[in-house]
Amino acid sequence: MNVFTQQHLLLTLAALLGVLTWSLMEYLIHRFLGHEPKTRPNPFATEHVRHHSEGNYFAEWWKKALAAAAFFAVLTPFCTWLVGVALGLSYAGGLLGFYVFYEVLHRREHVTAGFGAYGRWARKHHFAHHYSDTRFNHGVTSPLWDIVFRTYKPVATVRVPSRFVMPWLKDPQTGAVRPEYAHVFFVA
């Protein structure tokens, strides 16, 4: 393997480690800052409780951007000092990129019907957490850490309370669950 290829491999691995790190942080923040009574009150829990109680409420984008900027202002210099500029930036970029993916996916789960097997799984997994049992399925982008920490609960169907029915789930003509989602979601 030449030096050029080896460097690309190391940069890719650093970025993937950043992705994996955000995945773990997503789980830990959601589970322990969002749902653990011992860690409340905290700014995340305040927004998170509102998100659960109002369904389609999301904290303002600028709050998330400020928190992410502060985190990366500390993380990036530390990473570049620890492993060098290229690897440090690659790691931080993987983490930041997957954080952005998480934010987009989470919002889309609530406001759009989505598509594909992953989109269908993500909605079912996430809404089971919201409406069935908040002790399980804390991962929004992946079940990996739920499996590792034994908080994964497979989901066949999801009961959505009538006051939380997402617009994409409801047939505008009949008010019932759209036929294409009726095998997974039901309103009660």
Q: Across residues 21-35, what is the average pLDDT?
A: 96
Which tens digit of pLDDT belongs to each residue from 113-151? 878 999 999 999 999 999 999 999 999 999 999 999 999
pLDDT band at 1 (very low <50, low <70, confident <90, very high): low
Q: Is the peptide bond before 37 cis (omega within 30 degrees of 0)?
A: no
- Centroid of chain to Cα 131: 16
**pTM of this prediction?**
0.89
Give the closest residue to 109 by CA, choosing from 99, 119, 97.
Answer: 119
Residue type, 125: H
- Domain ranges, ordered by start, for the chain: 3-187
What integer best gives the mean pLDDT of the chain?
Answer: 92
Query: How many Å separate Cα 27 from the centre of its chain?
Result: 8
> How confident is the model at residue 126, as a pLDDT?
94
Max Cα distance, the chain (Å): 63
Helix ranges (H only) for the chain are 3-28, 43-54, 61-83, 85-111, 116-131, 144-148
pLDDT tens per residue across span 56-89:
888 888 888 888 889 999 999 999 999 999 999 9
Tell the residue number behind the tokens 């850490």, with chain if given. 145
